[in-house]
Amino acid sequence: MAASKKAVLGPLVGAVDQGTSSTRFLVFNSKTAELLSHHQVEIEQKFPKEGWVEQDPKEILQSVYECIEKTCEKLGQLNIDISNIKAIGVSNQRETTVVWDKLTGEPLYNAVVWLDLRTQSTVANLSKIIPVNNNFVKTKTGLPLSTYFSAVKLRWLLDNVRKIQKAVEEDRALFGTIDSWLIWSLTGGARGGVHCTDVTNASRTMLFNIHSLEWDKELCEFFEVPMKILPNVRSSSEIYGLMKAGALEGVPISGCLGDQSAALVGQMCFQDGQAKNTYGTGCFLLCNTGHKCSVAIAGAVVRWLRDNLGIIKTSEEIEKLAKEVGTSYGCYFVPAFSGLYAPYWEPSARGIICGLTQFTNKCHIAFAALEAVCFQTREILDAMNRDCGIPLSHLQVDGGMTNNKILMQLQADILYIPVVKPSMPETTALGAAMAAGAAEGVGVWSLKPEDLSAVTMERFEPQINAKESEIRYSTWKKAVKKSMGWVTTQYPENGDPSIFSSLPLGFFIVSSMVMLIGARYLSGVA
């Protein structure tokens, strides 16, 4: 029997989607945006002390190679020729910090993950020396001083890890977020690897001036970070280098975006004022602000209900519980688990559940948790509208939680605008692929509006009146005020959890996420 011919599909583009809990490699048809195949590998998180979160950079890199190889095998089984893969994009968990030896290619410490809290006292000490009348850090970066961003993680590493100190002294150290580590390694590593990052990831370090779009000397001096260890900042869509090993050796890596910026592109939010919200482990709201700069944040609580309270066994069960009652019955849940971020930036806040009565049960709490996600999104959307002056006509959404129809309907009700969900959920990887395929020298993915593939959408319209929406939102804000001022002690850097023993029952701990946005960061894309 003759061997079957390989399918001819036209140019294909691959995307590495390296997230906090897993790595994936996905391959798309550049003409139709159709997902052809993918593979996923879970990533281990390490918790050496309370509040510390680390990952092994070598495990992350190996997972990328494994995902690429397995996806290529699957394509072969589908009779799809992998030589049609013309470019690779990289999307990554942001802020996670890696320092490695450029001579050996070995990491000098585990990657310090974005949600790690060990630097809280570092942040407190730095806050004391910023001039009250000249907060140059926020002015230049658009970001508040926080444990979240890479600069303070790097400062901790430089202060506490002798191997890194020695490597810096001997000019062997390189710093980067996960995108930099991957691109450097995939393009040759110690044998000529390209040390770079893109503007979306650079903007999350607190070392990057978002107005001049370059590393800032004053910021580096403030954080005492040697500029020689920083990667070169490139646009989000250009050829950085070629794959030097594996099934796709010789294929250019030509797209790089922090995961949430990639999702903004994947949702095709190319016009000023278009926004998307990703509902996953965290909740991230981004808006295309044109040439303006803005900051936004939101949080999620479903995993906490599952892992800490045991109200649900799987994340999907929350929809069933919420559907049973269809209301929170006056119960409000403020998930300020590690303080309030934007628009409050109040580290003393802690999570609260209020408005409880004898009638309240786990179904009402589940409903309140979903509402909390929506209320936080509303707060950030209001702040965005004030900053940008471009009120949203609708909100585009993606992420695993968008399968929860009650959440999507609640979001439409609380925002009082339609919520629109694409049928193709892989918007993060798609955005990275689009950037890679559109790069100069690749040119297999057109970003002209008339050439972009039409995407089927599911639309959720508000089903309550505006007055009810405003009443529920104002009650939420009242609950938020009650969450403030609970903790005055900073989280200890040595991981001592004793400060939590004094927290009142019913007040719990979690983290939220921050996202800097600006369409001009997507050079060659926006």
How far apart are alpha carbons 66 and 62 in whole angstroms?
A: 6
322-343: b or e for each residue (b if 16 or more CB lie within 10 Å)?
beebeebbebbbbbbbbbbbbb
pLDDT at 373 over 80: yes
Strand partners, 420: 396, 459
Identify the pLDDT of residue 464: 87
Q: Which CATH number fits domain 268-483: 3.30.420.40, 1.20.1730.10, 3.40.50.720, 3.40.50.620?
A: 3.30.420.40
What would the mean pLDDT of 284-295 be, rounded to a whole number?
Answer: 63
* Alpha-carbon distances of 340 from 165, 212, 385, rounded to whole Å: 34, 29, 20
How far apart are alpha carbons 217 and 282 in whole angstroms?
A: 32
pLDDT at 366 over 50: yes
pLDDT at 521 over 60: no
pLDDT at 505 over 70: no
pLDDT at 383 over 90: no
Encoded tokens for 100: 């490695």
Residue type, 139: T
Encoded tokens for 229: 């260890």
Are 204 and 258 in contact by the 8 Å Cβ rule? The answer is: yes
Identify the pLDDT of residue 402: 82
12-264 CATH fold: Nucleotidyltransferase; domain 5 (3.30.420)
What would the mean pLDDT of 67-96 be, rounded to a whole number?
Answer: 95
More confident residue, 275 or 373: 373
Output the average pLDDT for the chain: 83
pLDDT at 293 over 80: no
Q: Residue 77, Cβ neighbours under 10 Å: how many? A: 9
More confident residue, 526 or 50: 50
pLDDT at 292 over 70: no
Are 199 and 235 in contact by the 8 Å Cβ rule? The answer is: yes
How much is the pTM?
Answer: 0.76
Q: Percent of the chain beyond pLDDT 70?
A: 84
Residue type, 452: L
Cis peptide before 343 (omega within 30 of 0): yes
Identify the pLDDT of residue 251: 97
Q: Percent of the chain beyond pLDDT 90?
A: 52
Please write the tens of the pLDDT for every residue from 150-166. Answer: 999 999 999 999 999 99
Encoded tokens for 396: 């585009």
Identify the pLDDT of residue 515: 30
pLDDT at 68 over 50: yes
Residue type, 515: M
Please write the tens of the pLDDT for every residue from 437-459. Answer: 999 999 999 888 777 766 667 89
Identify the pLDDT of residue 488: 63
* Alpha-carbon distances of 348 from 344, 489, 493, rounded to whole Å: 11, 8, 17
* Residue 511 pLDDT level (bands cut at 50, 70, 90): very low
Task: Return the ∠ at Cα 155 (arms to 150 and 159), rounded to 5°.
Answer: 150
How far apart are alpha carbons 229 and 100 in whole angstroms?
A: 10
Identify the pLDDT of residue 264: 81
Distance of CA 288 to the CA centre of its chain: 16
Are 445 and 434 in contact by the 8 Å Cβ rule? The answer is: yes
Query: Which residue from 84, 57, 18 is spatially nearest to 262, judged by alpha carbons?
Result: 18
* Alpha-carbon distances of 284 from 53, 94, 268, 425, rounded to whole Å: 20, 12, 16, 15
Three-state DSSP class for residue 14: strand
Query: Which residue from 95, 96, 70 is spatially nearest to 16, judged by alpha carbons?
Result: 70
Identify the pLDDT of residue 300: 43
Q: Which are the contacts of 507, defined by CB distance < 8 A and separation ≥ 6?
A: 350, 351, 352, 486
CATH 3.30.420.40-classified regions of the chain: 12-264, 268-483
More confident residue, 266 or 43: 43
Encoded tokens for 1: 């029997």
Residue written as token pair 């405003």:
470
The DSSP line for 112-151 is E-TT--TTHHHHHHHHTTS-TT--HHHHHHS----TTSHH
How far apart are alpha carbons 25 and 74 in whole angstroms?
A: 11
Identify the pLDDT of residue 310: 76
pLDDT at 494 over 70: no
Are 436 and 276 in contact by the 8 Å Cβ rule? The answer is: no
What would the mean pLDDT of 6-31 be, rounded to a whole number?
Answer: 88
